[in-house]
Amino acid sequence: MKILGYLIAVIGAIGVLLRTEMVKKLIPLTLPAITQTTYFMIGSIIIVLIGIALTFMNGRGMNTSRGGGEVPIYSGNQIVGYRRI
């Protein structure tokens, strides 16, 4: 999931960079007119944010703290130890 997040974030960052004047001067590309619109810039920023969100997510959703992170190990009715989750 992290690799997909990184990939999406990089694609969005490329979209943002294509919109900047410095990159237009350094790399003389003939780009479609859609890349010069404000909507393209907003869309690229949203794609970067989605990529960052995917990078910080695990398989079950966003990473959250689990408090103690230990569960008791029982032998009969007695607690004999604790196991980390």
Going by the DSSP 8-state scheme, the letter that residue 27 receives in this structure is S
The residue extents of the domains of the chain are 2-60
**Buried b vs exposed e over 27-47: b needs ≥16 C-beta within 10 Å?**
eeeeeeeeeeeeebbeebeeb
What single letter denotes the amino acid at residue 1? M
Name the pTM for this structure.
Answer: 0.60
Inter-residue long-range contacts of 29-33, CB under 8 Å, 24+ positions, other chains counted: none
* Closest among 23, 16, 24 to 44, alpha carbons compared: 16
pLDDT, one tens digit per residue, over 25-84 is 787 777 677 767 888 889 999 999 999 998 888 655 555 555 568 899 999 999 999 998
Q: In this structure, what token pair is assigned to residue 33?
A: 């007119």
The amino acid occupying position 39 is Y
